[in-house]
């Protein structure tokens, strides 16, 4: 199985901040996936004309964290039941998607979605796309490590910080030591 995961769960500033903090994750890059056109810019993606989603590409050590754990955290740190929307962020670029890299990832993603639906923790049905990975375009430099560089910014305080707190509460054992004291 591939040791990369490509996920879209709303704003990539949020998802990058979450997955950067996990043990076994070696890198997280914000970018764009799932659309048309090469090398899209943030402005183009935000216009809704490219079909790309804000996404992250995660490199991980499968001996320290499994793809199934990555998906479990993905499901529980965004709302997979809202179509093209996460909080106040709306548009197709904020859709929920799993871009699988091989058939094993596809199988794990479909099983995890099915199990989550059976749990019944969400009132509405899950709308997350599970689609083949094609291409990932790395976002502009100013998007990289956005939360860590801008923790005092209003969006970070009101949108990203609560997600980090949720991660720490639910998955504290999976968080790298240097991030365990974040409040």
* Active-site amino acid positions: 11
User: Diameter of the chain by CA atoms?
Assistant: 41
Q: Is 41 helix (H, G, I), strand (E, B) or coil?
A: coil
Residue given tokens 């794990």 in the structure block: 108
d(CA 61, CA 98): 19
| Strands 129-132 vs 96-100: parallel, antiparallel or unpaired | parallel
Tokens of 6: 């490509």
The residues facing 89 across adjacent strands are: 86
d(CA 85, CA 177): 32
């Amino acid at each position: 199985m591939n040791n990369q995961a490509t996920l879209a769960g709303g704003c990539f500033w949020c998802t990058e901040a979450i997955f950067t903090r996990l043990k076994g994750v070696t890198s997280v890059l914000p970018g764009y996936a799932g659309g048309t056109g090469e090398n899209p810019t943030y402005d183009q993606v935000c216009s809704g004309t490219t079909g790309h989603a804000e996404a992250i590409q995660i490199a991980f050590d499968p001996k320290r964290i499994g793809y199934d754990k990555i998906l479990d955290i993905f499901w529980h740190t965004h709302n997979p039941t809202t179509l093209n929307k996460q909080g106040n962020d709306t548009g197709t670029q904020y859709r929920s998607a799993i871009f699988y890299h091989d058939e094993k990832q596809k199988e794990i993603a479909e099983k995890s979605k099915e199990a989550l639906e059976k749990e019944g923790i969400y009132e509405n049905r899950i709308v997350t796309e599970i689609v083949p990975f094609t291409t990932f375009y790395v976002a502009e430099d100013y998007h990289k490590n956005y939360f860590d560089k801008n923790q005092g910014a209003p969006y970070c305080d009101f949108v990203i910080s609560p997600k980090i707190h949720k991660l720490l509460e639910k998955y504290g054992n999976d968080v790298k030591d240097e991030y365990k004291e974040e409040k």
